[in-house]
């Protein structure tokens, strides 16, 4: 289900009579905004997103597992290029860590490091709130 800005929803409710529901909710910023932002809740999986290598990159992750007290995470920040249709990655940072529910970790990468892709992974029982910002 997609909800557009014209709906101005304050809340999304999913009612379930039986079974387990897994969903992803993302707040999509305006394409006209000067600052590039990404926000999402990631529940047991991975997600990649591109970044502008000429801008500062601010990343914050907050532990929010629905199934336990902590989340095992991996953050991989790299420079991605394609040569002869093959992906090549030059790692800038690759770190594994554990976030307790409510605990946060932040990273600040200055412009000019060449990083243009961010990949986050969360273990199957984990959950995190993820925030990426690139000010103009």
- DSSP readout, the chain? ----TTT--S------SSS------EEPPPTT-SSEEEEEEEESSEEEEE--TTS-EEEEEEE--SSSSEEEEEEEEEEEEEETTEEEEEEEEEEEEEEEBT-EEEEEE-TTS---EEEEEE-TT-EEEEEEEE--
- Average pLDDT by consecutive 10-residue portion of the chain (136 residues)? 58 81 66 78 91 94 94 95 89 96 96 92 95 93
Mean per-residue pLDDT of the chain: 87
Please state the pTM of the whole predicted model. Answer: 0.75
Q: What pLDDT is stored for residue 33 in this prediction?
A: 66
Contacts of 100 (CB under 8 A, 6+ apart): 63, 69, 70
Q: What pLDDT is stored for residue 35 in this prediction?
A: 83
DSSP lists the bridge partners of residue 88 as 81
Q: Which domains does the chain have, with CATH numbers?
A: 26-134 (2.60.120)
- CA-to-CA distance for 16 and 90, rounded, in angstroms? 44
Give the tens place of pLDDT for each residue, 44-76.
899 999 999 999 999 999 999 989 999 999 999
């Amino acid at each position: 289900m997609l909800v557009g800005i014209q709906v101005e929803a304050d809340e999304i409710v999913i009612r379930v009579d039986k079974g387990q529901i897994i969903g992803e909710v993302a707040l999509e910023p305006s394409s006209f905004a000067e600052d590039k932002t990404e926000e999402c809740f990631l529940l047991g999986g991975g997600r990649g997103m591109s970044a502008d290598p000429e801008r500062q990159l601010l990343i914050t992750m907050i532990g929010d597992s629905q199934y336990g007290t902590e989340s095992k995470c991996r953050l991989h920040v790299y420079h991605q290029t394609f040569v002869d249709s093959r992906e090549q990655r030059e790692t800038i940072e690759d770190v594994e860590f554990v976030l307790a529910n409510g605990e946060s970790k932040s990273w600040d990468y200055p412009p000019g490091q060449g990083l243009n892709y961010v990949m986050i992974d969360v273990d199957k029982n984990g959950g995190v709130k993820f925030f990426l910002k690139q000010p103009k």
